[in-house]
Chain A
Amino acid sequence: MTQIPVAFVVILSIISLAGVGFYCLLATRNLIKVIIGLQLMIKGVAMAFILGGNLTGQLNLGQTMALTVIVADTIVAVVGLALAVQVRHRLGTLDIKALSTLKR
């Protein structure tokens, strides 16, 4: 156990979070699930920033960047959920395939 370097474990965690989040974006049809997937991916990104800050010794820089990312992603979640509520209210469905109106 002690031979596995800790930084690598963190890197593995980041990559797996990003992968799971991306898979959720690819393979879901519900609008709210899409937002959940986005949240997961962005957690991985924030973790990457923090790890970077730790490795290079510039902890504050890493924290500010991670914080910016978290704020942005929170705003995305807020506005996205408001959108989802309105879409459900007016169009009656949250299915992204039914919502896509491009002529096929």
Chain B
Amino acid sequence: MSLIIIILVIGLPWVGAGAVLLAGDAHDKLQHILAVAFSLAAGVAALLMLPYTSKAVVISLNAGTVYGNFTFVADGLSVFLSIIATVIGSLAVIFSTNYMKGEAQLGRYYAFVLFFIGAMTGLVLTSNMLLMFFFWEITALCSYALIAFHNDDPKAVRGGIKALLITSVGGVGLLLGALLLFVYTGSLDYNQFLANHSSMPASVLGVLAFGFLIAAAAKSAQFPFQTWLPDAMEAPSPISALIHAATMVNAGVYLLARFYPAFKDVLYWREAVMTVGVISALLAAIMALVATDFKRVLAYSTVSQLGYMVYAIGAGGVFASQFHLFSHSIFKALLFLGAGAVIHSVGTRDMTQMGGVGKKLPFVKWVFIIGALALSGIPILNGFWSKEMILEAGLAGGSKVYYGVMVFVAGLTALYTIRMVWMVFYGEPRSEYHAHPVGLAMKIALAPLALAAVVSWLAVGRFSILLGSSLPYHAIEPFGLREMFHEVIALPTLIPLAVIALGILCWVFRSKLSGLAKAFDWMRWLAEHSFGFEGINSGIVKATEASAEGLRVTQTGMVSWNLLAVLATVIIFFTLFAIGA
């Protein structure tokens, strides 16, 4: 039974992609309906997989002696991530029916979205490293194609290529790891690797661990690879919600969580992971504080929250990080879709030109506020519980300095969130804009997410049992509501709560604090120039182009020179034979 469900979960979106392309751009209503139908079907199939979660191998296709078996395992981590991918995917598709109404080339759009959803579920459901790499690269391709969807806009194309190149660097790290795994254990199945990881020589294990860290950092836009995510905001908002908030960027965190049992004893790996997470969180929060583009603030916020998850994994709290991943997917998708509704209706992404939108779009205002409260970590909403659990895990497993920094970042999170909400929804309109009302499909997509942001934390008990029973190497204990109350509603939680309150108060009294803000103008300048990382990026691009231009002299196009090169190589080889044979 689970065999059929897995095939449905991966296959339905792909079949849907083909169906949408076949329907043709002339029948765009049909394309909308097909896309929604197939993505909803995939979501239902993923939900149906819940009772069948186990660590047993479900599908095993023999692919010859070289590649071993193409295995698919439906354990807790896989099922939970595929549910997120398909359910949030279907909500994003429903949102798209209104957002992309009247756009050209819908077939390309929906086909890539569905292709992406199928590839993401395949990525998490497979236990063969080569297949994982294959799906990883497919998600990178779909991300590029969707960021550059408006391919007559040079900014969008540049953003897409930047995303593709940086995540492909990460993909190299993953491929290297897969190959090393194959060489040293003889099979590409990571469950076998997790079972006896100590049989690998320590140096190889170290290379594997840091290679995967690079792959995960590139995919999840962590330091030092964080520059692609803000530029990827040229994509349509449902895409930002699906790919760059809820699913693809989670692949890096998934990779780290999956391989944590094997790498946790590698020298300095956990410290490196925590450092990457903390730096990303801090830098991104500061940059979010000064950004004026509505979606860029959310992009920086994504980097920052992913930094929290990476930090939690480094500190040993794998369950806390996955729980925060769950909450973050929900509220970040909510925030992006809400932002998409606002941008679609107002017509600009620049927050300095908005203001007072809440009067015109009250529904969006309220759901956005729910998402913002969850992001800031206000009690009762799901963001509060998961963020507190991460901070507890960090306190227990990491250094106090990092804990202090992460608490400070929590305060910064509250500050930039309330700044964003205030600038957009409250106050007086700062420019003449015409806000046309939000369509029904958008409201249908936003409402379930808002509801989930309020109540999803109640599922923590079932969630921990799901993960704990099917991941034998991760040592996750059942963690019910009572344990969560006990852990979170305790003294150490008051410190972050106080800092969050301080952050909110800072905004409310911002006019009185303007003198303090002026003192930090140098920091504002640094943040607006993204702390030099954009400069590094463009420097690398220029250097590559210059060296290519310089090396052009070797490509003369004349046979004589090429033959000379052949002759020189022959001489080198013969010399080597003469000496070494």
Contacts and interface: CB of A to CB of B under 8 A. Distances in A.
A18 to B, nearest CB: 11
A25 B558 contact: no
A25 B559 contact: yes
A22 B560 contact: no
B564 interface: yes
B563 A34 contact: no
Contact of A22 (B555, B557, B558, B563): B563
Interface residues of B, number: 9
Contacts of A104: 556
Contacts of A102: 555-557
Given A22-B567, A26-B564, A26-B567, A96 B555 contact: no
A100 B561 CA distance: 12
Nearest to B570: A22
B568 to A, nearest CB: 11
B558 A34 contact: no
Interface in A58-104: 96-97, 100-102, 104
Classify chain A: how many residues form its interface, as a range: 10 to 19
The residue among A26, A28, A34, A96 with the most chain B CB atoms within 10 A of its own CB is A26
A25 B560 contact: yes
A27 interface: yes
A26 B558 contact: no
A14 B567 CA distance: 17
Contacts of B563: 22, 25-26
Nearest to A29: B560
A96 B561 CA distance: 12
A96 B558 contact: yes
Interface in B558-581: 558-560, 563-564, 567
Nearest to A101: B557
A20 to B, nearest CB: 13
B557 A100 contact: yes
B558 A100 contact: yes
Contacts of A101: 557
Nearest to B561: A26
B556 A26 contact: no
A28 B563 CA distance: 12
A96 B556 contact: no
Contacts of A25: 559-560, 563
A28 to B, nearest CB: 8
B553 to A, nearest CB: 8
Interface in A30-58: 34
Contacts of A28: 560
Interface string B520-544: 0000000000000000000000000
A86 B80 CA distance: 68
Nearest to B557: A102
A28 B560 CA distance: 8
Contacts of B567: 22, 26
Contacts of A100: 556-558
Given A26-B563, A97-B558, 8 more contacts: A25-B559, A27-B560, A28-B560, A34-B559, A96-B559, A100-B556, A100-B558, A104-B556
Interface of A: 22, 25-28, 34, 96-97, 100-102, 104
20 contacts: A22-B563, A22-B567, A25-B559, A25-B560, A25-B563, A26-B560, A26-B563, A26-B564, A27-B560, A28-B560, A34-B559, A96-B558, A96-B559, A97-B558, A100-B557, A100-B558, A101-B557, A102-B555, A102-B556, A104-B556
**What 8 A-B pairs come out closest when comparing CB atoms?**
A102-B557, A100-B557, A100-B558, A26-B560, A25-B563, A26-B563, A26-B564, A96-B558
